[in-house]
Chains A and B, each alone.
Chain A
């Protein structure tokens, strides 16, 4: 179960991540010195301090765009999780449903999002809906697959014990298979959370009036490279926040995983 254990925000977590933090500072410093020393033009590669400046100067604009992206991401993620849990459960409970849909589920993952997103814009216009759908497309798969795998990996000995008590299929699902699948489900949720923002940004790229993807394309078309980096920074932070929220929920939902053996 170790692989599911979340990286903590705890004191020991901070201590563990301290070397990585130092490395980050060093890289940023080096970057700053090289860019300033070689007098690299701003449109080619901005120094970290210039990115910081762009972040601060466009903070109101950035906040507005971030708000749109957060809206799309949260709605898409929520819907994907709901759909993923529902269909994952159905496939886990009824093998015939799985046999019917599983191949399509796998194939659907091989269709590139970049190719589908323009179609969504074509059909559904420039509003929020096509972006929410791209987020769903990105998040649905890891949630469903991880839940299904967790459900199927449950130890048959536990199932036999429950059956010997005269438990019904539903009771076995509720008392054994579902709790057993939770760590795996949360692993999938974490992957989905980190990808979710990217899904929204790709949707916005292809046509929108607001969102971090719009800010990103506008900045890059105007050669405002410092703002491009500001957008990248914001997207990264946002993705990380989603990841942290899910990790935290996971720790609350799975207190027994923290126990040392």
Chain B
């Protein structure tokens, strides 16, 4: 279980804190999405959990152990795939085990199994520059999983993809998670994506970020994208959109754009 208690963060450059004290609990094996206006501190929260930055206050516990300020406890995947251009696909996938000084041979054969499952084994000795955006993103996710921790932080992993590829990736992730049951904190701007994938959706307010809504997504699993056409889904979407556009009404978004999305 991932548990945040009173986690806050501010940067000296600005008077307004980035995160107001945040309390959040994520059960093991739960898929939780985090949505909120741009700049509200979603990535900052990720960085704190990943141990890239120290919170000003509060504790972050993973399975009962405090992990604030220490890295390597969770798998972290940023929006960019960050595959190293001088490494082949296979060698990119074993980066985590190399950092952890594990046996390279084992790691390679484990990575190959994954590539086979994805039908990517023909590309194992290709360089990232030779792969499509969707393939690279999948590879980045596999690298995150192969890092070997059962908690994953995915910070807008599909944000840079086109709509079609994005939908494919969502279905792929859905099927994958169904098997592995990682604990996932998934950051997105896409409400439909959040509804399709998660057990719970958390809405952050504008900066300073605090939790303004925590809803569970009632649809049964395994899920199919068609559930988004259901009445309850449309109702939930509308509710979330209203919340979000209330948060961002002043500056960032043109709320008429958001409203159009409802239909």
Q: Is the CB of B82 within 8 A of A167?
A: no
User: Which listed residue (B52, B84, B99) contacts A179, Cβ 8 A?
Assistant: B84
In the bound complex, what is the Cα–Cα distance between A171 and B100 (angstroms)?
10
Q: Is the CB of B99 within 8 A of A167?
A: yes
Q: Is the interface of B mostly helix, strand, loop or mixed?
A: loop
Segment 67-110 of B: residues with Cβ below 8 Å from A = 70-73, 76, 78, 80, 82, 84-87, 95-96, 98-100
- Number of A residues with CB within 8 Å of any CB on chain B: 21
In the bound complex, what is the Cα–Cα distance between A167 and B50 (angstroms)?
13
In the bound complex, what is the Cα–Cα distance between A70 and B95 (angstroms)?
42
In the bound complex, what is the Cα–Cα distance between A261 and B73 (angstroms)?
35
Minimum CB–CB distance from A184 to chain B (whole Å) comes to 13
A103 CB within 8 Å of chain B = no
A176: which B residues are within 8 A, CB to CB?
84
Q: Is the CB of A256 within 8 A of B85?
A: yes
B41 CB within 8 Å of chain A = no
Interface residues on B, range: 20 to 34
User: Which listed residue (A167, A182, A254, A259) contacts B129, Cβ 8 A?
Assistant: A259
In the bound complex, what is the Cα–Cα distance between A8 and B108 (angstroms)?
33
Q: Is the CB of B78 within 8 A of A165?
A: no
Minimum CB–CB distance from B78 to chain A (whole Å) comes to 7
Q: Is the CB of A175 within 8 A of B95?
A: yes
Q: Which residue of B lies closest to A261 (CB)?
A: B129
B78: which A residues are within 8 A, CB to CB?
157, 160-161
Q: Is the CB of B71 within 8 A of A166?
A: yes
Q: Is the CB of B127 within 8 A of A164?
A: no
A167: which B residues are within 8 A, CB to CB?
99
CB within 8 Å of A: which residues of B? 50-52, 70-73, 76, 78, 80, 82, 84-87, 95-96, 98-100, 127, 129-130, 147
CB within 8 Å of B: which residues of A? 1, 157-158, 160-167, 171, 175-176, 179-180, 182, 254, 256, 259, 261
